A = this chain, B = another copy of it.
């Protein structure tokens, strides 16, 4: 449980560095990330390295006892490099070259750019691989951010064809897998295949899915190139990447397989404003962010990082990039920090040390102000540091009783072929997560390939490509299993299973989905459960089965089927219905639940329970009578937190 900060010595007079380091220590920070955008300073002219300033910066930080995460600067190749090789630039859907002048202006498939990355990372690793301040490396920065996973360059198409040839072996297999007989889309050789952009109407979904898989693999192999260099030249250091919240364009598990630690960048207010939440929700959580944004990602990246994860960038105040950028509620930076530690973060690192007076992020807050005074975020970070010291080491987070199965390819499938609006597999997973945490539960978000043994409740909210291996593990788990609609509705080739959805999951429930419909905003279909009126929105299915439905739609169709410990929802439930279903399942599984007040969330860590209030008004912590509080008390003010020892 360490606090850290992102720092850019190259942005500030060298005369300030020593005082900066001292102030970081005084604030209680111990980890500093540097270097990840500094290529033009490290190599101002082709081949001419300037290490001096970075040597001095590292030495300064080291002198103050700060531990350094050193970033590779490959997200920002300098202009001279771009001019020397314009083919390295990414190309957008409309075939416009995405040029220099911001960041992430490279195509993952550019082999010449990969050579350049090898060169700069090798130079960095050789120089600092054994520097005593360096405890970890960050590869690149926020892969996929600014919609950069997909590129439609000539180089990408070339490598896509090779990737396809490796995957399918011969073109007939590809034509069969993609169903290219439809609309005469058949190819005679891999060399005839283009990227799926600029088609007259929608491209073949299987074509798009493979392009996304290919692009995801490109990200992973691009990252692996750096990891291999760093691992060889910098033994004993953790290798980390900072994933961006809500970016799902590539499979984070594949990238993280090469890493030691997963980390993510947590901007709850910006995400609340930019994502799917409705206006009411955005207004209610204006200065706190939706209460599950942080938790969802924490639990996701704990899985992605195989237990080891950080928050590499924590929002410290208003950001600059959302449509509107409110200030967090006083205390919110502290609350976010504790939410992260409650979920098991090793490090929470704030972005950034000091607000910058220039550049694209000049309006992004830091822990300190451009005039070197301390900002609100800095005050709250210092408070967190004091509280950490006061609490002493916490027990390790224990495994949750509830698992939520989430897979990136399923998100791609749901977005490539949405069939309706407002219900991607990502959003479905998020809404399931909210329902679980509204019941006071801890959740592990796990990949479809994860070990599921030991869980007592497993939710599969919307896993389109659920396969036989997963079905087998689910059946063997002994857990209550809740399967949401669309799960198992597609094969790996993006085809409808021969025996219809839920495909391989039919091993758990003897039913077949014969029809689906998507519903416009405002439309719903009523469902009655034990006499209470509920409903589904956005998605509804018709099921053929001999099972007697446990709940029915208003038109008599089955809405909720149970077979042993397996349960299937034939529509996307409204929140109250979802909680009703989950209450029944947790009861069956012997899991205790608590109906949390709106805006309150719990998270246990070992013998400690932490409660956070995301509401803008006072809320109860829901602590049991006689709870021994180590932080706060039974009443939570806005942005308030409380922690007590579990009995």
Contacts and interface: CB of A to CB of B under 8 A. Distances in A.
Interface of A: 8, 10-11, 37-41, 44-45, 73, 76-80, 83, 90, 94-105, 145-146, 148, 178-188, 192, 194, 196-207, 273, 279, 282-283, 286, 317-318, 320, 323-327, 330, 355-363, 365, 369-371, 373, 375-376, 417, 419-421, 493-500, 512, 514-520, 522-523, 538, 540, 542, 544, 555
A283 B519 CA distance: 10
Given A201-B360, A517-B326, A183 B103 contact: yes
Contacts of A500: 369-371
B371 A499 contact: yes
A41 B184 contact: yes
A517 B192 contact: no
Contact of A200 (B10, B103, B365, B523): B103
A207 B98 CA distance: 17
A148 B496 contact: no
Contact of A375 (B83, B273, B514): B514
Contact of A79 (B97, B187, B365, B495): B187
Given A323-B421, A323-B520, A358-B494, 9 more contacts: A11-B182, A79-B188, A100-B199, A102-B185, A102-B202, A145-B201, A182-B358, A286-B519, A369-B500
30 contacts: A37-B182, A37-B183, A39-B184, A40-B185, A40-B186, A44-B186, A76-B185, A78-B184, A79-B192, A94-B96, A95-B96, A101-B196, A101-B207, A103-B200, A105-B200, A179-B358, A182-B359, A202-B360, A204-B360, A282-B520, A283-B520, A286-B519, A286-B520, A320-B417, A325-B420, A326-B518, A330-B555, A357-B497, A362-B494, A370-B496
Identical chains bound together, number = 3
B181 A10 contact: yes
Contacts of A37: 182-184
Contacts of A198: 96-99
A2 B373 CA distance: 60
B325 A419 contact: yes
Contacts of A419: 320, 325, 363
